[in-house]
Amino acid sequence: MSSGIRATPEVTLERAAAPTRLEWRVATVVSVRAETRHARTLVLDVPQWPGHRAGQHVDVRLVAEDGYQAQRSYSIASAPESPTLELTIERLEDGEVSPYLCDVLQPGDGVELRGPIGGYFVWEVTLAGPLLLVAGGSGIVPLMSMLRHRALAADASRARSPVRLLYSARTADDLIYASELARLGSAPDVRIEYTLTRSAPADWTGYNRRIDRPLLEEVAWPASEGTRAFVCGPTPLVEQVANLLVEFGYDPLRVRTERFGPTGS
């Protein structure tokens, strides 16, 4: 796609097997924020946004001047309490959509999206029980929405579910939201562990290997009826972690997964 991509006039389309119609809306970029060398957050003002639940996603559509269209789905990073919508996009060199979103879009530009979409991979503060989050790479994005929702819930006096996050990335420089996660992890009921699958800096204090059975056993909550797990990342990681959690005794109905393949953008 070239920089000639534009937002088309707002239309209404019906998503297959969806109970309601989802409208395409032209969102305005309010600001952009670099997260890592390859990831960028778009802060969007979406007219008549109906609100979302932590873990949902949106479809983004780009249309070139010759009429060619490309559409991709991106998880929502912002909490439901946020007045703006945030999408964190990881740039893929061979992608059709992500290079435009990461390299071209600037504050004031418009971008088409529709949503929110999804009702399976969602979490709300009203759900009781320990929470386990496992992320691989940009799979941290919908889990960050959950962590932000937990921190910003209006009823601050409510007893919050204790949470553990295991976040796997290639290198320390590839950790998205590193500063914010450090702040969230300082809470007594939040435990955040990192593991790097490639190089690690000399002063690294986290793990330095792929997620395997011993590592997951060390970090995960012991299986109990109330424990909920959300796993998001590349398909091999998601399948391995989900299978291990079930072997550990987790209720399969409480292990929710979302995955992406190597060709997504």
Domains and CATH numbers, the chain: 12-117 (2.40.30.10), 131-260 (3.40.50.80)
Q: How far apart are CA 125 and CA 53, in angstroms?
A: 10
Mean pLDDT of 85-112: 94
Beta bridge partners, 26, equal 112
Q: How confident is the model at residue 2 (pLDDT cuts 50, 70, 90)?
A: very low
Q: How confident is the model at residue 265 (pLDDT cuts 50, 70, 90)?
A: very low
Residues, the chain: 265
Ranges 10-19, 37-46, 214-223: which has the least confidence:
10-19
Q: How far apart are CA 134 and CA 210, in angstroms?
A: 12
CA atoms within 13 A on the CB side of 216: 24
- E-strand ranges in the chain read 12-13, 22-23, 25-34, 39-45, 57-63, 69-75, 85-90, 110-117, 131-136, 163-169, 190-196, 228-234, 255-260
- Higher pLDDT: 225 or 82? It is 82
| Residue 37, pLDDT above cutoff 60 | yes
Neighbours of 21 (CB within 10 A): 10
Q: Which residues contact 53 (CB under 8 A, 6 or more apart)?
A: 80, 116, 119, 122, 123, 124
Give Dmax over CA atoms of the chain in angstroms.
55
Q: How confident is the model at residue 159 (pLDDT cuts 50, 70, 90)?
A: low
Q: Which residues contact 222 (CB under 8 A, 6 or more apart)?
A: none
pTM, 2 dp: 0.88
What whole-number percentage of the chain has pLDDT above 90?
77
- Higher pLDDT: 114 or 261? It is 114
| Residue 26, pLDDT above cutoff 50 | yes
User: Please, what is the average pLDDT of the chain?
Assistant: 88
| Residue 21, pLDDT above cutoff 50 | yes
Q: How far apart are CA 16 and CA 10, in angstroms?
A: 19
- Higher pLDDT: 196 or 2? It is 196
Q: How confident is the model at residue 151 (pLDDT cuts 50, 70, 90)?
A: very high
pLDDT digits (tens, 9 = 90+) for 183-226: 999 988 999 999 999 989 999 999 999 999 999 999 999 998 78
How many whole angstroms from its chain centre is CA 164?
16
| Residue 109, pLDDT above cutoff 60 | yes
